[in-house]
Structures are given as C-alpha cells and as structure tokens.
Amino acid sequence: MKSLKKKLSEAEKAAWLAFKSVCTHFLGNKKAENYEDLVGDMMKCFRVISCNMSLKLHVLNSHLNFFPQNLGTIRDEHGERFHQDTSIFEKRFSG
C-alpha cells in the first residue's frame, strides 16, 4: 500500500483517501453524521482528477438519505433485501 501512495499525485492521494473515508464512514457498519460531506468531498476529488462518474456513483450521491443506517451490517443472506431496495432506484430511473 505504501508503494501505491508514493506513485500517486497529491490530487490522486486526496481522491484515494476520500474514497477510503466513504467506505469506512458511510458504507461501513456505522454511518457517520457527516456522511453527506464525505461523499461530496469524494465527488470533488474525483472531478479534480478527471475521473468520470458512473451512474452508480451518481445514484449514491443523489440518494444518500435513502441508505439504511446499518448499511454495513446487512450480510449476504439479506441479499434479497438489497435487491428490493435497489429496485426502488431502478423504478425511479426507468421512467
């Protein structure tokens, strides 16, 4: 991991750290109170390095308040619940 950080530019390091922060403090077991700021910062860092955002990342940013508080604690056996939750997003975007 240290060798990766040495090869990154300052902007790329900022994007990497912002991504790690979102994974830990938003997609982890507990959602931080400032999760909207964390995702917003990550999006800004990605724009600085000219990273094209995928539709999934756009959905994440646009629907932050719809993610359950215990997102990280949902396990694979609850996969059906995940598919039910994502079907709501699909219906919104399909028309």
- For residue 17, what are the domain limits? 8-69
The helix (run of H) or strand (run of E) holding residue 11 is: helix 10-25
Task: Count the domains in the chain.
Answer: 1
60 band by pLDDT with thresholds 50, 70 and 90: low
**The predicted structure's pLDDT at residue 56:** 62
Give the H or E element holding residue 91. Answer: helix 79-93
Q: Determine the pLDDT at residue 64.
A: 61
Q: What is the pLDDT of residue 59?
A: 62
Q: What is the pLDDT, as a whole number, of residue 14?
A: 92
Radius of gyration of the chain (CA): 15
Residue 60 inside a domain? The answer is: yes
- Asked whether residue 65 carries a pLDDT value surpassing 60, the answer given is yes
Examine residue 25 and state whether it is found in any structural domain, yes or no: yes
Q: Domain for residue 61, yes or no?
A: yes
Query: Is 70 exceeded by the pLDDT of residue 62?
Result: no
